[in-house]
Amino acid sequence: MDKKNKTLGEFIIEHQAQFQYSSGELSKLINAIRLAAKVVNHEVNKAGLIDILGAVGDTNIQGEEQQKLDVLANNKFIQTLKNREIVCGIASEEEDHFIQVNSNNQQNQNKYVVLIDPLDGSSNIDVNVSVGTIFSIYRRVTPIGSPVTMEDFLQPGVNQVAAGYIIYGTSTMLVYTTGYGVNGFTLNPAIGTFYLSHPDMQYPETGNIYSINEGNYSHFPQGVKDYIKYCQKEEDDRPYTSRYIGSLVSDFHRNMIKGGIYMYPKSSVASNGKLRLLYECNPMAFLAEQAGGKASDGFKRILEIQPTELHERVPFFCGSRKMVEKAEEFMALHAQSKDN
């Protein structure tokens, strides 16, 4: 079979033996995410035809206004994961606390917890800009047979067994890793099947795109300001091109294909940055490293940060390895100058 004609289901079965604890649960879990993604994709694609645009009038745990599709996507993913009885716990960016999941047949016997950002970039829905779903999977650390606890969710990113995202754009793609490279699958809407379209995805070692909300420039640390000036300077292969969509999934996806860096640093108005460590930064960092890229908070590796709370925020620098390293150089230089 032509590699690119392979379906996601066939790919999962073929590579199941790579999983450290190969017993079928992780494969079923990824299949459940695939199913929920197709349902959410259907709703996203008809957003302009029915009353699911705009805000619901509530805010989530981060104090952000919830969009109608945020709530819909959150409910669909949680419902699908619960119904399949393959996880023992779920944490969502849209929920205050983690969700305990009990199997009807084998209470708390499941091995995995899922952390999810159900609809990243949802504020872009009303203007028909690409949005996405981000997911992260860990093997529980508490004893099987006992209720899950916060300890199962507050694991460093290096413990992830799988992570990925779904991008709902001109075509719908599911991109994921289980620690053996990154592969992308495109949905054929006519038959509802994901096909392998982007095998062995790799970040270019460097690129010419930088992605950051420059409207916040005056609030950025000096190291970030200096790096932006470096990107804009006419020298060698610069200036770089500024491209910022405002949807992490979309910016990350473009930069992984074309080469670039995504930055959401801390600022004077967001002392820890905006992105959530568990729902956004850890899964994207895992994907970036598996694709030959790099992810840090400007100083240290994202995947080695020990989480302390469910909705913790961290600064995020992610993308082509050489570009992230150059940004880190500017951050380190400014940190040294402050110490002297």
Q: Known binder of ligand: residue 168?
A: no
Consult the annotation and say whether 274 binds a ligand: yes
10 is in an annotated binding site: no
Q: Is 280 annotated as a binding residue?
A: yes
- C-beta separation of 34 from 194 below 8 A: yes
Best CA proximity match to 320, nearest among 225, 211, 216: 211
197 is in an annotated binding site: no
Q: Please check if 337 is assigned to a binding site.
A: no
Closest CA to 252 of 121, 77, 70, 116: 121
Known binder of ligand: residue 123? yes
Please check if 268 is assigned to a binding site.
no
Q: Is 112 annotated as a binding residue?
A: no
Q: List binding-site positions.
A: 93, 117, 119-123, 213, 244, 274, 280
Q: List binding-site positions for Mg(2+).
A: 93, 117, 119-120, 280
Q: List binding-site positions for substrate.
A: 120-123, 213, 244, 274
